[in-house]
């Protein structure tokens, strides 16, 4: 029986070429369809098709990010090489009100830590609309008018120029500190491109809002942010809609959530080093299902250890019961005037992510307090 072709992925033309080469190296024959033969680079949505019998092996390849590694994808933006060598603060922007809030905090942090700012906007250009399941060979695809695609890009550039002009005005008026920054545009799925850029350039922190411009009030807030929190390898600072914190200087009291894991000690030390320019007090909190004396003893021991390591740091501790975790945490934040919640989010497998969401992800959908996720 003839081995029919199925669609493996819909990608930009450049990435489709990369994937085709990777598949060829693994002995999988592939074909790129729906190419604009006159200007192939402009056709941002092309299909990579393979034989159906090769699908399981091919899926295992594309599910790995290895085929997008730095030594394969050479698409770093041109520009100043010195910029690429310096520490970076990555701020994903979508031109919402969150963008300027994130910029205010990000520029301030960059100034304090002698870093550069990268403003990253990710747009998605659905040139093709599939009407059947993803692996089907019977796609009913329609090509969107390329004039509308150009119009979309023109609109994005206008919005980006407006944001850049606003930042320049705020720098000139001393509202923002004067730090170097650049704007980057990428085509793709927002969370994937943010994570890809972060893996590529290794920023010290990602600062982003918990609601996107296109999301409505009834949507889950922060779905992109939550995914970045789960998978990023650096600090992530998530800014809720009504935060009173304008810069990190405003954060006078930080709640550090601990599970008494040894990795928490490393995470705490990382927090103290990265945020050394700032002065704040720490409230150690432990989330427990059954409050008992042993939890308090362990917290007291952690406090003593930290006080020896950081003698100038003001530290206290509390235990929060998990029976009504989020409401209890909210009450604690209000009573203790907590400005930022710091929490570790260790790498977990896909089953844990699906069936037992991390504390950080739960809180990002709920809290009105900024959350600093430590990796």
End-to-end CA distance of the chain: 51
Mean of per-residue pLDDT scores for the chain: 78
| pTM of the complete model | 0.71
Lowest-pLDDT choice from 67-76, 120-129, 188-197: 67-76
Compute how many other C-beta atoms are within 10 angstroms of the C-beta atom of residue 335.
Answer: 9
Both tokens assigned to 103 = 């910029």
- Cα separation, 93 vs 99, in Å, equals 5
Domains and their CATH numbers in the chain: 5-68 (3.30.70), 81-127+145-239 (3.40.50.620), 248-374 (3.40.50.620)
- The answer to whether the CB of 183 falls within 8 A of the CB of 156 is no
Whether residue 256 is predicted with pLDDT greater than 60 in this model: the reply is yes
User: Residue 245: phi, psi to the nearest 5?
Assistant: -80, 115
Both tokens assigned to 24 = 């060829």
Both tokens assigned to 282 = 């720490």
* pLDDT, tens digit, 9 for 90 and up, residues 43-56: 446 788 888 888 87
- For residues 11-35, give the mean pLDDT: 81
Q: Is 20 left (phi over 0), alpha (psi -120 to 50) or beta?
A: alpha
* pLDDT, tens digit, 9 for 90 and up, residues 346-364: 766 655 655 666 777 677 6
- Cα separation, 113 vs 275, in Å, equals 8
* pLDDT, tens digit, 9 for 90 and up, residues 190-226: 888 999 999 988 999 999 987 644 444 433 345 788 8
């Amino acid at each position: 029986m003839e081995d029919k072709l199925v669609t493996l992925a819909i990608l930009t033309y450049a990435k489709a070429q990369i994937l085709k080469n990777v598949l060829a190296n693994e002995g999988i024959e592939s074909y790129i369809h729906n190419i604009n033969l006159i200007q192939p680079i402009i056709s941002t949505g092309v299909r990579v098709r393979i034989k159906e019998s090769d699908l399981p092996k091919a899926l295992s390849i594309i599910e790995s990010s290895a085929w997008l590694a730095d030594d394969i994808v050479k698409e770093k933006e041109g520009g100043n090489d010195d910029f690429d060598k310096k520490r970076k603060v990555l701020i994903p922007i979508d031109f919402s009100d969150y963008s300027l809030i994130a910029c205010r905090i990000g520029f301030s942090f960059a100034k304090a830590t002698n870093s550069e700012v990268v403003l990253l906007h990710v747009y998605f250009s659905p040139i093709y609309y599939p009407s059947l399941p993803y692996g089907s060979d019977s796609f009913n695809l329609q090509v969107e008018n390329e004039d509308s695609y150009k119009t979309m890009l023109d609109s994005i550039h206008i919005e980006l120029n407006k944001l850049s002009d606003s930042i320049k005005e705020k720098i000139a008026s001393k509202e923002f500190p004067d730090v170097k920054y650049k704007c980057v545009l990428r085509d793709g799925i927002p969370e994937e491109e943010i994570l890809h850029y972060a893996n590529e350039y290794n920023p010290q922190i990602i600062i982003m809002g918990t609601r996107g411009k296109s999301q409505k009030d009834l949507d889950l807030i922060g779905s992109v942010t939550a995914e970045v929190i789960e998978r990023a390898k650096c600090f992530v600072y998530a800014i809720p809609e009504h935060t009173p914190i304008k810069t990190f200087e405003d954060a006078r009291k930080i709640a550090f959530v601990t599970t008494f894991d040894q990795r928490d000690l490393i995470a705490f030390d990382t927090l103290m080093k990265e945020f050394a320019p700032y002065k704040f007090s720490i409230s150690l909190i432990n989330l427990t299902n059954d409050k008992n004396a042993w939890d308090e003893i362990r917290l007291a021991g952690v406090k003593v250890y930290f006080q020896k390591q950081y003698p100038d740091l003001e530290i206290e501790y509390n235990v929060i019961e998990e029976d009504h975790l989020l409401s209890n945490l909210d009450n604690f934040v209000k009573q203790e005037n907590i400005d930022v919640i710091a929490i570790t989010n260790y790498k977990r497998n896909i089953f844990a992510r699906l069936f037992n969401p991390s504390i950080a992800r739960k809180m990002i959908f709920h809290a009105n307090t900024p959350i600093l996720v430590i990796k």
